[in-house]
Amino acid sequence: MTATIQKAATKNSKSMIQNIREEYNKPSKTKKRTISMEVSFICSGNEDRKPIVEKDKDKLSQTEAYLKLVETNWRKNFEKSYKIINELTGLDFKNDKFTVFVTNPNSNVGHYLGNNKIIWGHKEKWENYSTVYIWHEILHSKIRYNNEEDHQIGHSIIELVTDYELRKRLNGGKYEPFEKSRPMLLDAKRKILPYWKEYLKSDDKNIIKFYKYCKTLKSHIRN
């Protein structure tokens, strides 16, 4: 899998996501530099050479520093985290290429934009935070849903893979209480959890099959 990380201008989350969709959902012309682990990062600065107003200079500096932190952590964790995700999901990302547009950490935004593009900017709440949640957004490219019922199931499974199991294996400890995560997914995760525990015991894991299986249990999970 190839992952790329790119810096985006800091605006409010909603308009920023729209701008990213319109302006950056195109092939990048930025020069690449290949690093170890076959992970390449793209870092775009103020390529249009537009004037930067004074009030935005601090935010830009923060974003540049944060991009370095995200890049460093991703590189440090990539080999281990890739093996964990591959073992947990059965998915092979080696032929995939993802672009992560890194914005200011105070933006509190993490969103899969489609076409293997992600926007990310969030304070590091705990060790390896950005690595875990970039994998979370990457899995949104594989586990898709078209309605609210499937969203609750698919998103809950993504959280179990990354927010809980990947975090536990990288950092140690145990699962955080579900109450600390998204309230709208609380009931679905609780009901999927017994099946998830059985899934973790299997030798030949396939997260897409598990997702499809859980969708056959909609009446149980939603009630």
DSSP-assigned letters across all residues of 20-60: HHHHHSS---SPPEE-GGG-EE----STT-----HHHHHHH
Q: What's residue 41's pLDDT?
A: 41
- Print pLDDT tens along the chain (223 aa): 666 666 554 545 555 556 555 544 554 444 333 222 233 344 334 334 344 445 567 777 888 888 899 999 999 999 999 999 999 999 988 778 888 888 888 888 899 989 888 889 899 999 999 999 999 999 999 999 888 889 999 999 999 999 999 999 999 999 988 767 767 788 889 999 999 999 999 998 999 999 999 998 866 665 5
Do the Cβ atoms of 185 and 155 come closer than 8 Å? yes
Asked if 16 and 119 touch (Cβ cutoff 8 Å), the reply is yes
Separation CA 214–CA 191 (nearest Å): 10
Q: What is the pTM of this model?
A: 0.79
Give the pLDDT score at 22: 57
DSSP lists the bridge partners of residue 99 as: 4, 117
At residue 3, the pLDDT reads: 66
pLDDT at 45: 42
Residue 39 CB-half CA count within 13 A: 20
Contact 108, 123 (CB under 8 A): yes
What pLDDT does residue 18 have?
61
pLDDT at 37: 27
Q: How many CB atoms lie within 10 A of CB 200?
A: 11
